[in-house]
């Protein structure tokens, strides 16, 4: 069995380059999300044909899998709308409350309840996120439509993590991803048409970016993250995904020359410390049980 933490690291690195690619492709965020899903699905289909590994979900599983596809796609659409109605920084901070919602959802609906280590690690990581983005952004927030949409994005993201965790215990990852991405692609295509977003007539370089997004950010990224979710608990995975902000900052510095400040370094270090608190607690518990 593959190492879940290695899969999680690969997944985080893969999805962290997405914001940098979006900056290279001056198109609608919803359009970018649609092609990310579509090309991810198209790259997966030949593998399914050659190996025959696709398993048709049983009757009871169709609803949660389709729901995961709609929730994931809606999260992306809502995320982009929240940026439109507020700003990217505020939207990023509020969306990253998702570990809190995962913890609350786990406490209410799952047998694996979050313990003190999780809440401590989450609090430390969120403080790091505030520092990384800037305290002034936090204090200047306005409770408006953009605020509400960003919070909703975090709740949707947390819902996807919790529902997918229960589904992945009953179906293989490739089959889950195939159906989920097909639903997301169809759903986002309709959203593009309804909101009059461009879906064709792009330059070759834009198509190239879409292909990279589909292969790396969606297919490799979420196959590995889904594998980690199946082997670990949704709370730890959700909290670990906060490190995406750190990795994205490094990619932005390396590829497009964005500056890295001491504030960003301090915030990133605190985020990683919060994540480490949770995992350190789990390792100690495992040793005691052994």
H-type alpha helices, 26-97: 29-51, 59-85, 88-95
pLDDT at 250: 87
Domain boundaries, the chain: 4-113+136-231
Least confident of 136-140, 182-186, 195-199, 252-256: 136-140
pLDDT at 207: 95
Global pTM value: 0.81
Query: Of 85, 127, 117, 88, whose CA–CA distance to 242 is shortest?
Result: 127
DSSP 214: I
For the chain, the 3-state helix, strand and coil shares in percent, each to the nearest 5, are: 80, 0, 20
């Amino acid at each position: 069995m593959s190492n879940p933490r290695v899969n999680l690291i690969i997944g985080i690195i893969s999805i962290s380059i997405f914001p940098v690619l979006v900056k290279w492709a001056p198109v609608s965020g919803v359009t970018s999300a649609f092609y990310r899903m579509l090309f991810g699905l198209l790259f997966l289909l030949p593998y399914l044909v050659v190996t025959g590994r696709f398993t048709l979900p049983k009757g009871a599983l169709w609803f949660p899998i389709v729901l995961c596809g709609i929730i994931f796609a809606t999260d992306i659409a809502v995320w982009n709308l929240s940026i439109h109605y507020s700003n990217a920084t505020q939207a990023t901070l509020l969306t990253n409350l998702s570990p809190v919602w995962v913890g609350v959802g786990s406490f209410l609906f799952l047998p694996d309840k979050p313990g003190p280590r999780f809440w401590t690690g989450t609090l430390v990581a969120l403080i790091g996120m505030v520092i990384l983005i800037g305290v002034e952004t936090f204090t200047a927030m306005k409770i408006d439509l953009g605020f509400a949409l960003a919070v909703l994005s975090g709740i949707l993201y947390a819902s996807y993590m919790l529902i997918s965790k229960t589904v992945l215990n009953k179906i293989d990852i490739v089959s889950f991803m195939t159906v989920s991405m097909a639903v997301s692609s169809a759903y986002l295509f309709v959203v593009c048409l309804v909101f009059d977003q461009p879906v064709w007539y792009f330059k070759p370089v834009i198509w190239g970016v879409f292909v990279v997004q589909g292969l790396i950010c969606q297919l490799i990224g979420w196959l590995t993250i889904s594998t980690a979710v199946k082997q670990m608990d949704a709370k730890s995975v959700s909290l670990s995904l906060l490190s995406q902000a750190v990795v994205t900052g490094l990619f932005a510095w390396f590829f497009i020359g964005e500056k890295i400040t001491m504030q960003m370094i301090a915030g990133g270090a605190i985020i990683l410390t919060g994540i480490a608190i949770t995992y350190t607690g789990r390792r100690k518990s495992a040793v005691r049980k052994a």
